[in-house]
Structure 1
Amino acid sequence: MSPEDLLSPREIEIASAYAQGDTYQAIAARLGIAPSTVRTHLATIYRKLEVSSKLDLHARLGGALPDADMQTDHAAIISELALNLEEALRREATLAEVLRIISRSKGDIDAVMSAILGFALDLCEAEFGILFDYHCDGHFAASHTRGIPKPFRDWLETQGSFAASPRTGLGRLAAHHSVVNIYDVRAEEIFQTDDPLRHATAILGGARSFVAIPMMSGDRLAGAFTIYRQSVRLFGEQAIALAQIFADQCVIALDNARMFSALRDRAPQT
């Protein structure tokens, strides 16, 4: 049977986009669904079409026949393993690309942070992300954002530098310098109070699940690397480990930018 006979119109759309190189994040944004939903669809697509790689998928959509050796009762396992392998390869390629961007940035910190946040959202299957600077007076300020809903972005710009109350995710991160992983921002008691940050996060940003990673420069808290899902789905260990890597790379990028700026300032003027 042809792919058109086996797949729904939505599955055909997702399969075609993925085979042509689109990421989970790009497909999700275009279709108005969560990245995790894209992944679930792809597992079903791989099983239905009896393919075990993106190349096989591309060929199958182009009219190739399924692999005769792929037994139907093993198709679900094979499709899951295939997607896991592709995701692992994509993670490795992405992390290498981030290091390349940092090494060639020449102090262009805005471009670097935007790229890092974009990669993090894609690999961690999140809708938007914010990089917060932490100031010595205990205040936070959103310095870089990616994918954030406009009402929430406008609110952060209006606030500028603000103090996060102890019960918020940022407040807990500042107190303990540890990862804060919240299953549902609306389920915590603080949501029932008038806390402005939690209200803005949940209502203006539409966030549900949230993870914040401390950005440490030595023993000093430099900021918070935060990513948000607009559906209730806890960030697992793998996603947190990836977010930690991206947070560390942000610190490296900031240190590089400072060094580049210092060298530029010391260079003789011509």
Structure 2
Amino acid sequence: MSIEDHLSLREIEIARAYAAGDTYQAIAVRLGIAPSTVRTHLATIYRKLEVSSKLALHDRLAGDSPPPDTDHAAIISELALNLEEALRREQAMAQVLRIINRSRGDVTVVMEAILSFALDLCEAEFGILFDHHDDARYSAGHMLGIPAPFRAWLRTSGRFAVGQGTGLGRLARQREVINIPDVRAEEIFRTDDPLRHATAILGGARSFVAIPMMSDDRLVGAFTVYRQNVRPFTDQATALARIFAEQSVIALENARMVSALRRDATAR
């Protein structure tokens, strides 16, 4: 039987893109679906084709014969995807460290890479790295995948104050991870809070997690990732976001050190 006999047209499109090296995030953006939907399709594809790796998927798409039938196809497909995702996490962390080391203080390049990896591995649609200022206000320092209306609101707002009931307000007060299952389900959504309105309506966000970015005991920012459907971030996804937040702080500190060295060199 051919691939077309096993898979739908959408599954074939996703299978070919993934086998060619595309990430969940890249496939999701191109097809207009959530990264989590891409993963669900891949689990089904692995099960239907009875493959247990991206290489095997590539070979199967190229016309290789399927392996003998197994009663454990669903379990094998899930384990295979979990293993591949673990390898992707390790590769992403190594790549982030390489980018930081080679950035020469170009924090924009580093932050775009960190956000890109974070969105892919955390299966989120968009992300924002908020700077926290000494006047207790925030500003959007770096963004990726943001819907245009929300981006425009953030740019226009510049440095803005946040209500205590917002995710950023609670993060500033508690200095802890804020994981909100549904931004529209909280009481603050039914008020006139501008940040929550912009997040939910202009950004279309539903589930949201914010990680405090700490330099010693000082809050320097918030690393935030958003999903546009109600699918709360698991402990594993939150732990991943925390690692990326820590890498962001390292990148910011490196950029400040490079800038200071350049100023000193100019002064001489």
SS for the counterpart of 1:262 is: helix
2:148 to 147, 150, 156: 150
Q: Deviations over 1:113-165 (max 9, x none)?
A: 11101110000000000000001111001010000001001001111001110
Letter in 2 for 1:15: A
Aligned counterparts of 2:170 and 2:263: Cα–Cα separation in 1:
37
Q: What is the CA distance between 1:267 and its match in structure 2?
A: 1.4
Q: Deviations over 1:55-114 (max 9, x none)?
A: 00000011101112x51x200000000000000001000000000000111010111111
Q: Deviations over 1:17-61 (max 9, x none)?
A: 000000000101111110000000000000000101000000001
Letter in 1 for 2:45: I
Structure 1 stretches lacking a partner, 5+ long: none
Q: Deviations over 1:182-201 (max 9, x none)?
A: 00000001000000000000
Superposition CA RMSD, Å: 1.0
- After superposition, where does 1:120-135 map in structure 2 within 5 Å? 120-135=118-133
1:186 to 184, 187, 207: 184
Letter in 2 for 1:62: A
Aligned counterparts of 2:234 and 2:74: Cα–Cα separation in 1:
22
1:265 to 245, 263, 266: 263
Percent sequence identity over aligned pairs: 74
What TM-score results when the alignment is normalised by the length of structure 2? 0.99
Partner of 2:84: 86
Letter in 2 for 1:196: P
1:60 correspondence with 2:60: yes
- After superposition, where does 1:1-270 map in structure 2 within 5 Å? 1-68=1-68, 70-71=69-70, 73-267=71-265
Structure 2 stretches lacking a partner, 5+ long: none
SS for the counterpart of 1:143 is: strand
SS for the counterpart of 1:181 is: strand
Aligned counterparts of 1:57 and 1:143: Cα–Cα separation in 2:
40
SS for the counterpart of 1:148 is: coil
What TM-score results when the alignment is normalised by the length of structure 1? 0.98
Q: What is the CA distance between 1:269 and its match in structure 2?
A: 6.8
Letter in 1 for 2:116: G
Aligned counterparts of 2:244 and 2:73: Cα–Cα separation in 1:
34
Letter in 2 for 1:237: D
SS for the counterpart of 2:225 is: strand
Aligned counterparts of 2:211 and 2:134: Cα–Cα separation in 1:
18
SS for the counterpart of 2:224 is: strand
SS for the counterpart of 1:233 is: coil
- For these two proteins, the number of residue pairs brought into alignment is 268
Letter in 2 for 1:34: A
Aligned counterparts of 1:268 and 1:261: Cα–Cα separation in 2:
11
Q: What is the CA distance between 1:266 and its match in structure 2?
A: 1.2
Letter in 1 for 2:224: T
Q: What is the CA distance between 1:268 and its match in structure 2?
A: 5.1
Letter in 2 for 1:8: S
SS for the counterpart of 1:163 is: coil
- Structure 1 runs of 4+ with >2 Å offset: none
Aligned counterparts of 2:143 and 2:27: Cα–Cα separation in 1:
20
Aligned counterparts of 1:55 and 1:249: Cα–Cα separation in 2:
31
